Amino acid sequence: MWTACFNRSSKTFKPKKNIPEGSHQYELLKHAEATLGSGNLRQAVMLPEGEDLNEWIAVNTVDFFNQINMLYGTITEFCTETSCSVMSAGPRYEYHWADGTNIKKPIKCSAPKYIDYLMTWVQDQLDDETLFPSKIGVPFPKNFMSVAKTILKRLFRVYAHIYHQHFDSVMQLQEEAHLNTSFKHFIFSCRSEFNLIDRRELAPLQDLIEKLGSKDR
């Protein structure tokens, strides 16, 4: 939803995931964009009256994928096999990749490799019509919320890596306001409003989360 804010918006890490124009989910996205435009993030993440929770979470999950895709796309030249030989978020947190299908046992890999695996995996979930149905009347599967939680938990790790390892580069590019607004939107939605990510998963950025929350009170 922050596409217009980015000077380097043509550069994304993976292709943008588009919601079909004319669909109900597209209307929900437009509603979200309108409320975001008011500047009230807490109001913007609330489930609109009469809407389906699964559909609202699906629309927001696609949007967060697109936002992170764009944010990471702006700093890929700084995130290399050499500079980021492990996927970390500061010295205390390191992530190993497994998707449960192609890679069942967690593997240690560089940050760019990990994020490539992660974003490709998320893309595959979003493109799966049985998981993320885009047609009106097609029900969401029983495991939808569980899949959405896993996607959002993993997307958080990209934010954590950018903040811990690349914030200087973000500041050089003058993208910090966009990063902070995007992350605040993500946290208000995934944690404050719908409790979709376990608090322990957020530990690498807990201080920042508390600061963003207190600024909004």
Q: Across the strands, what pairs with 95?
A: 87
Residue set of the binding site:
79, 84, 161, 166
Residue set of the binding site for Zn(2+):
79, 84, 161, 166
| Burial (Cβ within 10 Å: 0-12, 13-18, ≥19) of residue 70 | buried
Tell me the DSSP string of 69-138.
HHHHHHHGGGS-TTTTSSEESSTT-EE-B--SSS--S-B---HHHHHHHHHHHHHHHHH-TTTS--STTP
The CA-CA-CA angle for residues 33, 196, 12, to 5°, reads 50
Indicate if the alpha-carbon torsion angle 115, 118, 120, 122 is positive or negative.
Answer: negative
d(CA 152, CA 169) in angstroms, rounded, equals 24
Q: How many CA atoms lie within 13 A of 41 on its CB side?
A: 22
d(CA 194, CA 155) in angstroms, rounded, equals 16
